[in-house]
Amino acid sequence: MKNIQVIDGALNAVYDVFSATDEEFALIFPPGQDVAFIDEVMARGPRADLDKAFERIWQRRIPKAKAIGIHGLLFYELEHKKKYYPTRRDEEATNPDGSRLRAFKP
């Protein structure tokens, strides 16, 4: 199982963490990526498989204090954040000028 944190643009968003099977995770995040935007996910399809996967994932919320790691970030309604994640990898996030957001690699 892999944990996905949902970052939502809603004013009342709480950025919950959900557990996904490896297969469900692979539907959302292409190989080598750990950042996704819902419009891109849905455009990749297949829609029916994604709908079923999300139905299952939404039933597996994990309290943040009990989550062991975050394996992916899924953004909703925050298209303006795409420019900060050009490679769709969190560790490779960039500043507005294109420079690396993080100066070091863990």
Which H or E element spans position 50? Answer: helix 47-57
Mean pLDDT of 23-46: 97
**Reported pTM:** 0.93
What pLDDT digit, counting tens, does each position of 47-89 carry? 999 999 999 999 999 999 999 999 999 999 999 999 999 999 9
- Contacts of 40-48 with C-beta under 8 Å, sequence gap 24+, read 41/74
The answer as to whether 105 is a domain residue is no
Give the pLDDT score at 77. 93
Q: Is residue 97 part of a domain?
A: no
Give the count of domains, the chain: 1
Letter string b/e over residues 76-91, b meaning 16 or more CB atoms within 10 A of that residue's CB: eeeeeeeebbeebebe
Q: Would 98 be classed as within a structural domain?
A: no
